[in-house]
């Protein structure tokens, strides 16, 4: 039976989501964004995002959820909105008993492209190839959400717990697993 994973790229204006079924080859189930206008009252924006994500969860019934970890940058308003949306996702996963994985951007990029410094077009193109899509999902928030879902499904398929060194069947690390491990180590050093 395939593992169904929902990836969420949190944002206040555009909250990307992507659902895949992960079996031998990942398959797209649903992708999109929940949008809110910037002139809508802040609380109503959060309500709209939560309602949209609940609809996706209710319709697709994911077995696992993957969320991009919030990083602080110079844009405090952006970080606050992303953090608030992330809190909604964490609450919803916990309330429903859905296992949740948090990923740094470099972990996802390493898992999808093999390089933690990949840019958005590179990640989008690899998502397109992995899921055998005709085009890269738009906007980038949707492609990023699918990348999160793919990364979580690969980690789960290999039985790799958060923070643990991944191991291939032979005991050696694949290049993608080594890149993932390096990204996790670099992230832990930052905190």
9 among annotated binding-site residues? yes
59 among annotated binding-site residues? no
Q: Which H or E run contains 68?
A: strand 64-68
Which one of the listed residues 21, 68, 107, 144 is annotated catalytic?
A: 68
Q: Which two tokens stand for residue 82?
A: 């992303």
Asked if 46 contacts 85 with a C-beta cutoff of 8 angstroms, the reply is yes
Nearest to 1 by CA among 78, 61, 80, 70: 61
81: number of Cβ within 10 Å: 21
| Pairwise CA distance, residues 26 & 170, whole Å | 23
Asked if 153 contacts 162 with a C-beta cutoff of 8 angstroms, the reply is no
CB burial of residue 95 (10 Å; 0-12, 13-18, 19+): exposed
Asked if 102 contacts 69 with a C-beta cutoff of 8 angstroms, the reply is yes
Asked if 15 contacts 33 with a C-beta cutoff of 8 angstroms, the reply is yes
Helix (H, G, I), strand (E, B) or coil at 171: coil
Which one of the listed residues 21, 101, 107, 141 is annotated catalytic?
A: 141
Which one of the listed residues 9, 101, 107, 144 is annotated catalytic?
A: 9
Q: Is 21 a catalytic residue?
A: no
Q: Is 9 a catalytic residue?
A: yes
Binding residues: 9, 68, 141
Residues assigned a catalytic role: 9, 68, 141
Binding residues for Mg(2+): 9, 68, 141
């Amino acid at each position: 039976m395939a593992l169904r994973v929902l990836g969420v790229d949190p944002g206040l204006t555009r909250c990307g989501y992507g659902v895949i079924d992960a079996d031998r080859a990942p398959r797209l189930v649903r992708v999109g964004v929940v949008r809110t206008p910037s002139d809508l009252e802040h609380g109503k924006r959060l309500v709209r995002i939560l309602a949209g994500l609940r609809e996706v969860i209710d319709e697709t019934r994911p077995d696992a959820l993957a969320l991009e970890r919030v990083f602080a940058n110079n844009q405090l308003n952006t970080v606050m909105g992303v953090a608030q949306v992330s809190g909604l996702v964490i609450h919803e996963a916990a309330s429903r008993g859905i296992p949740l994985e948090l990923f740094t951007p470099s972990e996802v990029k390493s898992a999808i492209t093999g390089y933690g410094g990949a840019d958005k077009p590179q990640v989008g193109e690899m998502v397109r190839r992995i899921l055998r899509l005709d085009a890269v999902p738009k906007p980038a928030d949707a492609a990023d959400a699918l990348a999160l879902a793919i990364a979580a499904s690969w980690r789960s398929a290999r039985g790799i717990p958060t923070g643990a060194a991944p191991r291939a069947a032979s005991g050696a690390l694949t290049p993608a697993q080594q890149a993932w491990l390096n990204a996790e180590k670099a992230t832990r050093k930052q905190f």
